[in-house]
Amino acid sequence: MISTDLGLADLEAKATNVRLRVLDQVQVAGSGHYGSSLSLAEILVALYYTFLTVDPDHPDADDRDRLILSKGHGCSALYAVLADLGFMDPQHLETFTRLGSILGDHPDVKKVPGIDFSSGSLGHGLSVGVGMATAQRHRGFDSCTVVVHGDGEMNEGQVWEAAAYAGAHKLDNLLVIIDRNQVQVDGTTEEILDFEPVADKWEAFGWQVGSVDGHNLTELCETLARFRATPRGGLNRPTVIIANTTAGKGIDFIEGDAAWHVGYLHGVDNDEAIRQITSMYDHSGS
């Protein structure tokens, strides 16, 4: 992990920075995935600053933890974290999706240090994660693979093939976090293809299942710490954490609205979004 001495206020500041950098990147590109990126902020902060064993100076270390952002269209949040950690020069954020930039609208493992998976068409991340976790086990590494998964992705049949394999082979070094923001490109997840009860389905495939408030950094960090502290042989199955989140979290006029899966806030609207995000963790009135 990068740091173990960050308090709650520090982590909240990191989440705020992630959201502001998402807005910056959308301004560069003229369009961006607000909903899916903003719902990820606390998940990525909890993972990178309190859980994952990674090193910006050695991003390809064989025994590192792996992170697969299966919902790759949320990459502007991940880029913000990697830039803050020193995997790349923060100035790259100012070139997001521009000609010649290393930062595309989906991450490229060959161009961006710290990226473990090139995404594109959704639904493939868990299958790749199963392969990585299997390789880690065979090589004797005490590391894990984390797949950050979209809830809309669960529409893909390949996801459930991978889930079945992981459960059958008891891949206890595999952790999936579902960004359960209940929104996908064409509407709500329940409108498009209702997968409830989600937890029961994963459990039926042999997974240990948990649920957290995906915007509560204390809950997220405590849940991740319990996973890390559990001896692999004692767990004996993969784990999925359903992180209940809000698409577009931090900007009240786009929260939970599928119309803002992709969009562009301009002028006073962007200024208002910055104001709301900046004050999101203001505890002065509490």
Residue 286: per-residue pLDDT: 44
Q: Are 146 and 47 in contact (CB under 8 A)?
A: yes
pLDDT grade, residue 235 (50/70/90)? confident
Using alpha carbons, select from 176, 178, 108 the residue that is nearest to residue 145.
Answer: 176
pLDDT digits (tens, 9 = 90+) for 36-79: 999 999 999 999 999 999 999 999 999 999 999 999 999 999 99
Q: Residue 258 in 3-state DSSP?
A: helix
Distances (CA, A) of 108 to 24, 69, 102, 119, 282: 20, 11, 8, 7, 35
Q: What is the pTM of this model?
A: 0.95
Q: Are 170 and 134 in contact (CB under 8 A)?
A: no
Task: Identify the bridge partners of residue 241 per DSSP, sorted by sequence position.
Answer: 177, 210
Residue 245 has pLDDT above 50, yes or no: yes
pLDDT digits (tens, 9 = 90+) for 91-147: 999 999 999 999 999 999 999 999 999 998 889 999 999 999 999 999 999 999 999
Residue 193 has pLDDT above 70, yes or no: yes
pLDDT grade, residue 195 (50/70/90)? confident
Using alpha carbons, select from 126, 281, 171 the residue that is nearest to residue 215.
Answer: 281
Residue 1 has pLDDT above 70, yes or no: no
pLDDT grade, residue 282 (50/70/90)? confident
Distances (CA, A) of 93 to 18, 36, 88, 206: 11, 18, 9, 40
CA 137, chain centre distance (Å): 23
pLDDT digits (tens, 9 = 90+) for 3-35: 567 999 999 999 999 999 999 999 999 999 999
Dist. CA 181–CA 152, nearest whole Å: 9
Residue 2 has pLDDT above 60, yes or no: no
pLDDT digits (tens, 9 = 90+) for 150-187: 999 999 999 999 999 999 999 999 999 999 988 888 87
| Distant-in-sequence contacts of 192-201, Cβ < 8 A, 24+ apart | 192/152, 192/155, 193/155, 195/151, 195/154, 195/155, 198/151, 198/154, 198/242, 199/242
Residue 229 has pLDDT above 90, yes or no: no
Residue 4: per-residue pLDDT: 60
Domains of the chain, residue spans: 8-278
Residue 19: per-residue pLDDT: 98
Q: Which CATH class, in words, describes the domain spanning 8-278? A: alpha beta
Dihedral sign for Cα 235, 40, 78, 118, please: positive
